[in-house]
Amino acid sequence: MGWDRATPFIIDLEVGAEDIDGLGHANNAVYVTWLERCAWRHSQRLGLDLVEYRRLDRAMAVVRHEIDYLAAAYEGDELQLATWIVDWDQRLKMTRHFQLKRPSDNTTLLRAQTTFVCIELSTGKPKRMPAEFIEGYGPALQVPG
Protein backbone atom coordinates (compact mmCIF):
# COMPACT_ATOMS: atom_id res chain seq x y z
CA MET A 1 0.00 0.00 0.00
CA GLY A 2 2.96 2.33 -0.27
CA TRP A 3 4.15 2.59 3.31
CA ASP A 4 7.06 4.94 4.03
CA ARG A 5 9.20 2.06 5.34
CA ALA A 6 9.36 -1.70 4.98
CA THR A 7 7.74 -4.19 7.39
CA PRO A 8 5.37 -1.92 9.32
CA PHE A 9 3.42 -2.98 12.38
CA ILE A 10 -0.17 -2.06 11.46
CA ILE A 11 -3.43 -1.62 13.33
CA ASP A 12 -6.85 -1.08 11.78
CA LEU A 13 -9.00 1.83 12.93
CA GLU A 14 -12.48 3.09 12.16
CA VAL A 15 -13.44 6.71 12.75
CA GLY A 16 -16.43 6.77 15.07
CA ALA A 17 -18.97 9.51 15.78
CA GLU A 18 -17.21 10.19 19.10
CA ASP A 19 -14.00 11.03 17.17
CA ILE A 20 -15.60 13.88 15.21
CA ASP A 21 -15.25 17.50 16.31
CA GLY A 22 -17.26 20.63 15.56
CA LEU A 23 -15.54 21.00 12.19
CA GLY A 24 -16.91 17.65 11.02
CA HIS A 25 -13.69 15.66 10.94
CA ALA A 26 -11.64 13.58 13.36
CA ASN A 27 -10.31 15.79 16.13
CA ASN A 28 -6.54 16.19 16.29
CA ALA A 29 -6.44 14.87 19.87
CA VAL A 30 -7.95 11.57 18.67
CA TYR A 31 -4.91 11.02 16.47
CA VAL A 32 -2.65 11.15 19.54
CA THR A 33 -4.80 8.44 21.14
CA TRP A 34 -4.39 6.33 18.01
CA LEU A 35 -0.60 6.79 18.06
CA GLU A 36 -0.50 5.59 21.66
CA ARG A 37 -2.74 2.61 20.85
CA CYS A 38 -0.55 1.57 17.93
CA ALA A 39 2.71 1.90 19.90
CA TRP A 40 1.26 -0.01 22.83
CA ARG A 41 -0.05 -2.86 20.65
CA HIS A 42 3.34 -3.11 18.97
CA SER A 43 5.07 -3.29 22.36
CA GLN A 44 2.64 -6.01 23.42
CA ARG A 45 3.38 -7.96 20.24
CA LEU A 46 7.08 -7.72 21.12
CA GLY A 47 6.38 -9.27 24.54
CA LEU A 48 6.54 -6.04 26.51
CA ASP A 49 3.08 -5.62 27.99
CA LEU A 50 1.95 -3.83 31.14
CA VAL A 51 2.55 -6.92 33.28
CA GLU A 52 6.16 -7.09 32.09
CA TYR A 53 6.63 -3.33 32.57
CA ARG A 54 5.45 -3.64 36.16
CA ARG A 55 7.60 -6.72 36.80
CA LEU A 56 10.66 -4.85 35.52
CA ASP A 57 9.68 -1.54 37.20
CA ARG A 58 10.33 0.13 33.82
CA ALA A 59 8.27 1.73 31.07
CA MET A 60 8.76 3.69 27.87
CA ALA A 61 7.18 7.11 28.47
CA VAL A 62 6.42 9.70 25.79
CA VAL A 63 8.50 12.86 26.03
CA ARG A 64 7.77 14.33 22.58
CA HIS A 65 5.23 14.01 19.76
CA GLU A 66 5.82 15.62 16.38
CA ILE A 67 2.75 15.34 14.17
CA ASP A 68 2.10 16.44 10.61
CA TYR A 69 -1.63 16.43 9.88
CA LEU A 70 -1.84 16.00 6.10
CA ALA A 71 -5.52 15.28 5.38
CA ALA A 72 -8.75 14.90 7.35
CA ALA A 73 -10.48 11.71 8.43
CA TYR A 74 -14.27 11.51 8.56
CA GLU A 75 -16.83 9.43 10.40
CA GLY A 76 -16.93 5.92 9.01
CA ASP A 77 -13.48 6.07 7.42
CA GLU A 78 -11.56 2.83 7.73
CA LEU A 79 -7.90 3.60 8.39
CA GLN A 80 -4.61 1.82 8.93
CA LEU A 81 -1.92 3.13 11.25
CA ALA A 82 1.63 1.82 10.90
CA THR A 83 4.60 2.22 13.22
CA TRP A 84 8.30 1.51 13.10
CA ILE A 85 11.03 1.80 15.73
CA VAL A 86 13.60 3.90 13.86
CA ASP A 87 16.15 4.90 16.48
CA TRP A 88 17.26 4.02 19.98
CA ASP A 89 20.35 4.31 22.06
CA GLN A 90 19.79 1.03 23.97
CA ARG A 91 20.01 3.05 27.18
CA LEU A 92 17.24 5.63 27.61
CA LYS A 93 15.72 6.88 24.35
CA MET A 94 13.69 5.31 21.56
CA THR A 95 12.00 6.91 18.55
CA ARG A 96 9.02 5.63 16.57
CA HIS A 97 7.69 6.83 13.25
CA PHE A 98 4.02 6.54 12.35
CA GLN A 99 2.04 6.79 9.13
CA LEU A 100 -1.77 6.87 9.00
CA LYS A 101 -3.43 5.90 5.72
CA ARG A 102 -6.94 5.64 4.34
CA PRO A 103 -6.76 2.55 2.11
CA SER A 104 -9.89 3.44 0.11
CA ASP A 105 -8.02 6.23 -1.70
CA ASN A 106 -4.45 5.45 -0.52
CA THR A 107 -4.18 8.87 1.13
CA THR A 108 -1.66 9.45 3.90
CA LEU A 109 -3.50 11.46 6.56
CA LEU A 110 -0.70 11.83 9.08
CA ARG A 111 2.98 11.29 9.66
CA ALA A 112 4.34 11.47 13.17
CA GLN A 113 7.41 10.84 15.25
CA THR A 114 7.33 10.07 18.95
CA THR A 115 10.31 10.06 21.30
CA PHE A 116 10.16 7.83 24.37
CA VAL A 117 12.41 7.69 27.42
CA CYS A 118 12.76 4.67 29.68
CA ILE A 119 11.61 5.43 33.20
CA GLU A 120 11.55 3.56 36.47
CA LEU A 121 7.85 3.16 37.28
CA SER A 122 8.32 3.36 41.05
CA THR A 123 10.02 6.76 40.89
CA GLY A 124 9.04 8.20 37.50
CA LYS A 125 12.70 9.03 36.88
CA PRO A 126 14.72 8.16 33.77
CA LYS A 127 16.43 4.80 34.18
CA ARG A 128 18.49 2.63 31.87
CA MET A 129 16.58 0.06 29.80
CA PRO A 130 16.69 -3.45 31.23
CA ALA A 131 18.02 -6.33 29.13
CA GLU A 132 14.44 -7.43 28.43
CA PHE A 133 13.79 -4.13 26.60
CA ILE A 134 16.95 -4.56 24.53
CA GLU A 135 15.89 -8.11 23.64
CA GLY A 136 12.26 -7.18 22.96
CA TYR A 137 12.56 -3.90 21.09
CA GLY A 138 15.90 -4.62 19.41
CA PRO A 139 14.68 -6.97 16.66
CA ALA A 140 12.00 -4.42 15.67
CA LEU A 141 14.53 -1.65 14.99
CA GLN A 142 14.38 -0.54 11.36
CA VAL A 143 17.87 -0.24 9.97
CA PRO A 144 18.33 2.25 7.10
CA GLY A 145 18.16 0.34 3.93
Distance from the Cα of residue 44 to its chain's centroid: 12
Q: Say how many C-beta atoms besides its own lie within 10 A of residue 50's C-beta.
A: 11
Domain that includes residue 61, residue range = 9-140
What's the pLDDT tens digit per position in 92-145? Answer: 999 999 999 999 999 999 999 999 999 999 999 999 999 999 999 999 998 765
Of residues 93, 110, 81, 96, the one with CA closest to residue 140: 96
Answer yes or no: is 36 within a domain.
yes
Task: Tell me which of 2 and 111 has the higher pLDDT.
Answer: 111
* pTM of the complete model beyond 0.75: yes
**CB contact at 8 A, 112 and 67:** yes
Number of domains in the chain: 1
- CATH of residue 130's domain is 3.10.129.10
Answer yes or no: is 3 within a domain.
no
Answer yes or no: is 87 within a domain.
yes
Answer yes or no: is 2 within a domain.
no
The rounded distance, in Å, linking the Cα atoms of 124 and 119 is 6
* H or E segment and range at residue 41: helix 28-45
